[in-house]
Amino acid sequence: MTGPVPHRPPDAVARPAAGPRAEGRTVGASATADARRERGVALARAARGGDTIAMNDLLDHLIPYVSAICAPIALSSRQDAVQETLVVVFRKLRGLQEPAALYGWVRAIAAREAVRVARRDARDIPAEPADLPAPGDPQLAADIDDVLARLSPEHRAVLVLRDVEGLDEQEAAALLGVPEGTVKSRLHRARAGFRRMWTG
């Protein structure tokens, strides 16, 4: 259904090419981002009114955006996370009071579903960043998915929300349903662990 996140050396995590926030920051792409956003909002309004074709089009329209959020959190389970997110969107869209808030609402669902699916599918309990091998360990791979896989889903989620989606700590805390101090702590440990493993 979706492909892997592009691999490139990050400051923290590679930024996706899709999504209203990412597109809006690219010079010359703001018109395209606005058009995509307007289309998504229009589809959401029609779907909430019972238009089944609009609902199908909306779910297809959201796939790249949802995938960009789920992929770096759920990793090998990204397709399941995307599917689970779209199921929740389908079931709960009528409860979305303001269609203009579509993308923030979907972002929250995608992040939560990606963490849930990653936890569910984990074969081993992930190591905390402080317990990971030291830089230079031959088992550390110079690949962003390999590095992210060594972080817990919770640490991957805060990296994505802060460094990819551009949310501040307060917004990320509200979205994940945890205290702001927890987000700050997870973000600090996740960034430190990520940089150590990436440069190892």
pLDDT in tens, 72-124: 899 889 999 999 999 999 999 999 999 999 999 999 999 999 999 988 876 54
Taking each continuous run of H as one helix and of E as one strand, the counts in the chain are 9, 0
CA distance 154 to 157: 5
pLDDT in tens, 132-189: 444 444 443 345 666 677 788 888 888 888 877 888 888 888 888 889 889 888 888 8
CA distance 41 to 143: 36
- Name the DSSP letter for residue 163: I
Give the model's pLDDT for residue 47. 95
Task: Provide the CB-side half-sphere exposure for 151 (13 A, CA).
Answer: 32
Cα 70 off chain centre by: 4
Nearest Cα neighbor of 70 from 150, 127, 170, 2 is: 2
* Interval 123-130 mean pLDDT: 46
Confidence tier at 199 by pLDDT (50, 70, 90): low
Query: pTM for the whole thing?
Result: 0.64
CB 62 within 8 A of CB 44: no
CA distance 123 to 161: 24
**Rounded-to-10 torsion of CA 69, 74, 77, 81:** -50
